[in-house]
Amino acid sequence: MLSLFLKSLLGAAAVLVIAFFSKSRVFYIAGLVPLFPTFALIAHVIVAQEKGAEALRQTALFGIWSLIPYFIYLLLVYLLAERLSLWGCLGAAGLGWAAAAAVLIYAWQQF
């Protein structure tokens, strides 16, 4: 239970840092904060402890490839930000991420 509480504190801290930067002169740093590997660190510890170093390596490699769906999301936000409403832009970008993630997962399982 303590573990879950500490993880929720990490999430709350990230939200506060994002809110702080989004209101500052350096608002663009708010886009960097979610990329801190908080959840990746948690996942890597769990995978390494339960499955070993080779599984950790595979998890890291999949993480590298998972940057492609995130890139697609950001590219769509960049391209659609002035063309669609906020929710339309983020919705389309989210769908682009989901489609790219589905392709990645399918391809990863095939190879």
- Confidence (pLDDT) at 77: 98
pLDDT tens by residue, 58-100: 999 999 999 999 999 999 999 999 999 999 999 999 999 999 9
* Contact by Cβ (8 Å): 65, 38: no
In b/e form, how buried is each residue of 27-42, taking b as 16+ CB within 10 angstroms? eeebeebeeeeeeeee
Averaged pLDDT of the chain: 93
- Cβ atoms of residues 72 and 101 within 8 Å: no
- CB count within 10 Å of CB 48 equals 15
Residue 31 amino acid letter = G
Q: pLDDT class for 48, splitting at 50, 70, 90?
A: very high
